Chain A
Amino acid sequence: MEESLKYMFAGYSVIWIIIFALVFSIGKRQGDLKKEIDELRRIAEEK
Chain B
Amino acid sequence: MRKLITNIVGAVSMVLFVIAFYMAFLFAPTEQTMGHVQRIFYFHVSFAWVSFIAFFVTFAASIVYLKTRKRFWDIVAASSVELGIAFCCIILTTGPIWARPVWGAFWTWDPRLVTTLILLFIYMAYLMLRGAIDEETKRAKFSAVLGIIGFLDVPIVYRSVDWWSRTIHPNVIKKGNIALHPNMLMSLRVALLAVTLFYFFLLFRRIRLEELRDEVKELRKKILKEH
Contact = CB atoms under 8 A, between A and B. Distances in A.
Nearest to A21: B86
B94 A14 contact: yes
A32 to B, nearest CB: 9
A19 B20 CA distance: 15
B205 A11 contact: no
A25 to B, nearest CB: 9
Given A7-B98, A22-B83, A26-B206, A33 B222 contact: no
Interface of B: 34-37, 39-40, 43-44, 47, 83, 86, 89-90, 93-94, 97-98, 100-101, 198, 202, 205-206, 208-209, 212-213, 215-216, 219-220, 222-223, 226-227
Contacts of A27: 205
A4 B37 contact: yes
4 smallest A-B Cβ distances: which pairs? A4-B35, A11-B40, A40-B219, A33-B212
B220 A14 contact: no
Classify the secondary structure of A's interface with B: helix
Contact of A7 (B101, B215, B219): B101
Nearest to A23: B202
Interface of A: 1, 3-5, 7-8, 10-12, 14-15, 18-19, 21-23, 26-27, 29-30, 33-34, 36-37, 40-41, 43-44, 47
B94 A15 contact: yes
Contact of A44 (B39, B94, B222): B222
A26 to B, nearest CB: 5
Contact of B202 (A8, A10, A15, A26): A26
Contacts of B222: 44
Nearest to B215: A37
Given A11-B93, A37-B212, 12 more contacts: A1-B36, A5-B37, A7-B97, A11-B40, A14-B97, A18-B86, A18-B90, A21-B86, A23-B202, A34-B212, A37-B219, A40-B219
Contact of B220 (A7, A26, A40): A40
A13 to B, nearest CB: 9
A7 B222 CA distance: 55
B223 A7 contact: no
Contacts of A34: 212
Contacts of A11: 37, 40, 43-44, 93-94, 97-98
